Chains A and B, each alone.
Chain A
């Protein structure tokens, strides 16, 4: 068992930290306030090949694996939850296309998406589904060599950006849930205003309205009726991103707390000298380290998924833990700041708002625990 990084992994982590500190940190508050990531940042992330880290080189990716992806995601999420959320949703969409797409679909959609010229989405949730996939109501009706899609998709990341969107709909003849690749902004595609969510701003969530969208039959992803396996696989892969985004938030909480307690003085001494504060720092460090190794391991597991159900349980476990963990960490760090932590002048205010997203997206924490319990109790 070797927990050491290779030189390449160390350099990858250092590169992501360098990019995050130099390019994202100066504008992290602006991204939060405007709920928008500047185009220049998308271009730079494309040049650095951050949009296709786990995608194979033959499809324009960097072939850096999901273990490489978590090292980058952690450092980006440490600085900007919004950028992390955008990257996580994008990589989720690409992961599904890479796994289930035909050669033509992969050649058509992945190269531009890996460069950041297009940004991917993954659209399952509907107003009535919640976390219950069986309630899906969007329809796909076959008309000669096309499928006609209708329905509403809720809380879809990156749906405002052009690019491929993996959409789940019930195929009318078979009644089976099926996945399609939809080109965002095609005819019949429209979106709502962005949801004004509490945190991870810059990661834009909108509803998608599908009105008679004509999808060529060759854009069917996987097989007819294979929607659920694709959904489960895709969502499990997506949790690599969301769990690690929470990990980055936990690191941010730790770093901000350490910085503050060393600077803030009381009666002439830094408050870091007080044991009550030291206990908070210890709790933050423990929370960070436990989340870290779960995420790194999950990234490593995602590189070679032999048993999708077993991987889904691992991903649910990591996501359940890291999602709750980041909220607790951010609360502790804010508490170490005292009243100052409530002010927008201090990053911990944004870090706590970003953290609140963690337990709720891509399946609420309780849902993850049900998956974990199911894997433990089966048989």
Chain B
């Protein structure tokens, strides 16, 4: 059984500067989504227990071919890439169609992992859309995954409790950022990442029609402005009292 990990190329968040309330992306190198790396680590841990291959799946512009080396260094065995400049900035719906069609071309897929949300937009919808398109069950917000023969036991950490599900394979799972601590790759894992097998397709190689889809353009995506309360305290006692008043402690 193979495990597919969908990973998104995003700008390296640590190198983005904000100017006029907008991110400046010029010259910012690309990286893979932070929680996507947790999904990859979960896949590698499962593979180490039960075998199979971990295949990293990514769709985007040509730069993805370089960016994906990060995943290959961190334990993925192969990469399956759909590269097309039209995919740069594509919305979740389009990306889901592309990923679902790509997954149809990969053999013996038992588990498809996503991060709970991408590192840039964090809409968290592509995993669900892919599950729908493939007609597969889906479990989101997973804090643990175990594989038993033909099913997966998944713990979902929800706001008011944990839910444990047993789901038949294949299944789409999105993982939480605290499911694990991604390992640090060794020097040779990094240096040999580029030599691992890669299958590269273009959009026209997939049997999907992206014309006529409704286009969604994000006009603005800002967090609401919040004012600090500017409470000044003169002593620890006053600080404690202020925190109590705010209901923090």
Contact = CB atoms under 8 A, between A and B. Distances in A.
Interface in B154-205: 184-188, 190-191, 193-194
B115 to A, nearest CB: 18
Nearest to B182: A18
A11 B184 contact: no
A53 B184 contact: no
A176 interface: no
Main secondary structure of the interface of B (DSSP, over half): helix
A199 interface: no
Given A62-B191, A63-B191, A64-B191, A11 B186 contact: no
A64 B184 contact: no
A50 B191 CA distance: 13
Interface in B186-244: 186-188, 190-191, 193-194
Interface string B56-84: 00000000001101100100000000000
Given A8-B69, A22-B184, A15 B191 contact: no
Contacts of A63: 188, 191
B135 interface: no
A15 B194 CA distance: 16
B191 A7 contact: no
Given A7-B67, A7-B69, A15 B188 contact: no
B29 A10 contact: yes
B67 A53 contact: no
**B interface residue count range (under 10 / 10 to 19 / 20 to 34 / 35 or more):** 10 to 19
Contacts of A49: 186-188
A8 B191 contact: yes
A50 B187 contact: yes
Interface residues on A, range: 20 to 34
Given A18-B184, A48-B186, A11 B29 contact: no
A12 B67 CA distance: 13
Contacts of A47: 186
A164 interface: no
A11 B194 contact: no
B69 A11 contact: yes
B32 to A, nearest CB: 11
A324 to B, nearest CB: 31
A19 B191 CA distance: 17
A10 B185 CA distance: 13
A227 interface: no
A325 to B, nearest CB: 25
B107 to A, nearest CB: 28
Nearest to B73: A11
A11 B188 contact: no
10 contacts: A7-B70, A7-B194, A8-B69, A11-B73, A11-B193, A12-B191, A18-B184, A49-B187, A53-B187, A62-B186
Task: Report the 7 A-B pairs with minimum CB-CB distance, sorted nearest first.
Answer: A62-B187, A49-B187, A7-B66, A49-B186, A11-B190, A48-B186, A62-B188
Interface of A: 7-8, 10-12, 15, 18-19, 22, 47-50, 53, 57, 62-64, 68, 72
